[in-house]
Structure 1
Amino acid sequence: MATRREKIIELLLEGDYSPSELARILDMRGKGSKKVILEDLKVISKIAKREGMVLLIKPAQCRKCGFVFKAEINIPSRCPKCKSEWIEEPRFKLERK
Structure 2
Amino acid sequence: MMTRRQRIIKLLEERDYSPSELALALDMRGKGAKKVILEDLKAIQKTLRREGKVLLIKPAECRKCGFLFPPEIKVPSRCPRCKSEWIEEPRFRIGSG
- Identity level (%): 72
Cα distance between partner residues in 2 of 1:52 and 1:88: 29
Q: Structure 1 unaligned runs (5+)?
A: none
CA RMSD of aligned residues (A): 0.5
Q: Structure 2 unaligned runs (5+)?
A: none
Structure 1 residue ranges (4+ consecutive) displaced by more than 3 angstroms after TM superposition: none
- What is residue 95 of structure 1 aligned with on the other side? 95
Q: Give 1:52 deviation, angstroms.
A: 1.1
TM-score, structure 2 normalization: 0.99
Say yes or no: does 1:52 pair with 2:57.
Answer: no
Cα distance between partner residues in 1 of 2:2 and 2:48: 17
Instruction: Give the alignment of 1:4-83 within 5 angstroms.
Output: 4-83=4-83
Count matched residues: 97
TM-score, structure 1 normalization: 0.99
Cα distance between partner residues in 1 of 2:58 and 2:95: 13
